[in-house]
């Protein structure tokens, strides 16, 4: 059974990463290589399984050739 | 001697947190209370000493009453 996303924020973030990747027309492996990340990290981030760090967020947005703002705009903090 | 920021991205991020906090006219303690974070975390984030997580980024932006996009737009990934 697939693991649930960590939060609605990481889920939405992951959906946006996937959307941008599809717009770019590249695989998770290619994005990972461009971003300097492991492809399993990209896969987990897209499934909302990662409470990603600022640096990795910036590596992903650079690899996706989008402003980091696009990946986080409007996201709400998790209910802590 | 003050510790140097982790990266230029965390330095700029911290400067933006401080700028937004000043615009709001609140102390680090008040921001921390609103964001559900410890005030030392806010202090360290403002000095660029934290490679902050997505959840803490969203807690800070909520506490600052700004869209998270404002805190990360245009930031570049660190030279890894």
pLDDT at A20 > cutoff 90: yes
Residues of chain B with pLDDT under 70: 80
Q: Give the residue, B79 or A64, on which the prediction is more confident.
A: A64
pLDDT at A64 > cutoff 90: yes
Rounded Cα gap, residues A32 and A18, in angstroms = 12
List A residues 17-56 in contact with B (Cβ-Cβ < 8 A): 35-36, 51-55
Find, among A71, A61, A80, the residue nearest to A16 by Cα. Answer: A71
**Structural domains in chain A?**
8-66 (1.10.260.40)
How far does the CA of residue A29 sit from the closest CA of chain B (Å)? 18
pLDDT score, position B4: 87
Q: Tokens representing A11?
A: 């889920």
With 0-12 CB in 10 A as exposed, 13-18 as middle and 19+ as buried, what is B62? middle
Decide if B6 contacts B52 (C-beta within 8 A): no
What are the beta bridge partners of residue A53? B53
pLDDT digits (tens, 9 = 90+) for A47-60: 999 999 999 999 99
What average pLDDT does range A36-47 have in this prediction? 97
Decide if A51 contacts B55 (C-beta within 8 A): yes
Rounded Cα gap, residues B34 and A66, in angstroms = 30
**ipTM given for this complex:** 0.95
How far does the CA of residue A9 sit from the closest CA of chain B (Å)? 8
């Amino acid at each position: 059974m697939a693991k649930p996303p960590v939060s609605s924020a990481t889920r939405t973030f992951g959906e946006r990463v996937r959307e941008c990747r599809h717009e770019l027309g590249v695989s998770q492996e290619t994005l990972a290589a461009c971003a300097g990340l492991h492809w399993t990290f990209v896969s987990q981030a897209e499934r909302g399984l990662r409470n990603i760090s600022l640096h990795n967020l910036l590596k992903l947005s650079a690899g996706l050739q989008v402003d980091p703002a696009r990946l986080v705009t409007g996201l709400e903090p998790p209910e802590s």
